[in-house]
């Protein structure tokens, strides 16, 4: 078995002090006036022998683990997966690693995960959490722990946050449907009590109120089995035959909604128009392509990691709180546009019907 190389071995081989090797490895050669030639010798030898520093010892010495805890509702959800991937890429470029986990909107599980992050001594937190853990997150914020909330706020918690203006996004989407001549748009949303869902519902309600039209809303509990969601959606559409358009407040509901409409044989947009909040590869590939309220995920990831790194550089600093609200974009595709007069589309044209499963 190959002997593990220690910093002591490097110092002995190069005939320098352990402190000198440590300073070079920690990027403090110039600060401590170590010559460029000596620093280069140390780094070259370290590379030759494949020395790997003991991360635990390093974290104990510096007080930093260079690990960020990222907690979301469901890491398998395309929106969270995409944002998490972008955050990880940007964090790695800045020398940080990411620990991922999903809460599934379970308050007890969320509390356990927050405790786990604290026990792992993560340097910072990026959180999209269910309501009910305000006390725990407020305690972290009061201690000056570097953290950023994203996607949704927590009532009464004052800390860094990066969110999207869901109310305006859903308002514009509803107005688009009404302008196309669809007179009975429904809203399908997750029953979660979360602020981002409430904001999207407000935007929908405001647009209808301006046209003196009644709301038609279905709230589906989260989490729930996919087949049960599809069946609830089928029952809803059958119970409201006058509904000629539907807005899904999140992308996973949009995917299950397409499956439900496909089972019912409803033609899009001839019989019912469709818009979903959040984009998804399926929505671009589906026939017809699905109109979406797209969130600026690249910008969101950049703002999240920039805000967190600023907090990491000055932990506990008072008055530095950053709260950003980004604008979504309505991406209009064929699913929400009133079709021109002509022969009805053939049922077989729904090319991506099976992909919604």
Give percent of the chain above pLDDT 70: 88
Same domain, 187 and 201: yes
Higher per-residue pLDDT: 192 or 14: 14
Residue for token digits 């520093």?
53
β-pair type (160-164, 67-72): unpaired
Domains identified in the chain, total number: 3
Residue 153 lies in a domain: yes
Same domain, 198 and 339: yes
Angle made by CA atoms 121, 122, 126, in degrees to the nearest 5: 145
pLDDT in tens, 111-133: 999 999 998 889 999 999 998 99
Cα dihedral across residues 110, 116, 118, 121: positive or negative = negative
Same domain, 39 and 170: no
Higher per-residue pLDDT: 354 or 292: 292
Q: Could you tell me the pTM of the whole model?
A: 0.76
Confidence of residue 78 (pLDDT cuts 50, 70, 90): confident
For the record, the structure tokens of 352 come out as 């991506």
Q: From residue 42, how far is each of 9, 20, 46 by CA, in Å?
A: 12, 9, 6
Report the pLDDT value the prediction gives residue 354, as an integer from 0 to 100: 38
Q: What is the mean pLDDT of residues 58-68?
A: 65
- What CATH number does residue 46 fall under? 1.10.260
Confidence of residue 337 (pLDDT cuts 50, 70, 90): very high
Phi, psi of 63 (to 5 degrees): 80, 10
pLDDT higher than threshold 90 for residue 23 = no
Same domain, 273 and 316: no
Closest CA to 139 of 130, 131, 147: 147
307 lies in which domain range? 65-164+297-327
pLDDT higher than threshold 90 for residue 12 = no
Same domain, 149 and 190: no
Distance (Å, whole) CA 135 – CA 291: 39
Higher per-residue pLDDT: 204 or 64: 204
Q: From residue 65, how far is each of 68, 108, 118, 119, 345 by CA, in Å?
A: 8, 26, 12, 12, 58
Same domain, 306 and 182: no
341 CB-contact burial (10 Å; exposed 0-12 / middle 13-18 / buried 19+): exposed
Residue 85 lies in a domain: yes
Confidence of residue 349 (pLDDT cuts 50, 70, 90): very low
């Amino acid at each position: 078995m190959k002997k593990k190389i220690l910093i002591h071995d490097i110092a002995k081989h190069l005939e320098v002090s352990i402190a000198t090797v440590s300073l070079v490895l920690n990027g403090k050669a110039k600060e401590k006036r170590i010559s460029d030639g000596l620093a280069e010798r140390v780094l070259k030898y370290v590379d030759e022998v494949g020395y790997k520093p003991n991360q635990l010892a390093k974290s104990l010495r510096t007080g930093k683990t260079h690990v960020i805890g990222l907690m979301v509702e469901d890491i398998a959800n395309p929106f969270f997966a995409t944002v998490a991937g972008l955050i990880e890429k940007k964090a790695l470029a800045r020398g940080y690693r990411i620990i991922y986990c999903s809460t599934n909107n379970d308050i007890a599980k969320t509390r356990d995960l927050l405790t786990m992050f604290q026990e792992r001594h993560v340097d910072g937190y990026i959180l999209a959490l269910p309501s009910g853990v305000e006390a725990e997150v407020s305690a972290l914020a009061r201690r000056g722990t570097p953290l950023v909330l994203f996607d949704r706020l927590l009532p009464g918690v004052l800390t860094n946050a990066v969110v999207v203006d869901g109310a305006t996004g859903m308002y514009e989407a509803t107005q688009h449907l009404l302008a196309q001549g669809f007179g009975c748009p429904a809203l399908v949303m997750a029953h979660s009590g979360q602020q981002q869902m409430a904001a999207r519902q407000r935007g929908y309600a405001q647009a209808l109120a301006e046209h003196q039209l009644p709301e038609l809303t279905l709230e589906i509990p989260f989490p729930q089995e996919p087949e049960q969601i599809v069946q609830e959606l089928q029952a809803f559409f059958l119970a409201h035959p006058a509904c000629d358009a539907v807005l899904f407040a999140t992308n996973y509901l949009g995917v299950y909604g397409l499956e439900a409409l496909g089972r019912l044989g409803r033609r899009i947009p001839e019989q019912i128009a469709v818009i979903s909040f959040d984009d998804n590869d399926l929505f671009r590939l589906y026939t017809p392509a699905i109109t979406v309220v797209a969130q600026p995920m690249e910008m969101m990831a950049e703002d999240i990691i920039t805000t967190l790194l600023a907090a990491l550089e000055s932990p506990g600093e008072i008055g530095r709180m950053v709260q950003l609200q980004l604008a979504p974009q309505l991406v209009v595709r064929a699913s929400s546009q009133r079709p021109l007069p002509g022969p009805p589309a053939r049922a077989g044209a729904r090319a991506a019907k099976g992909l919604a499963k």
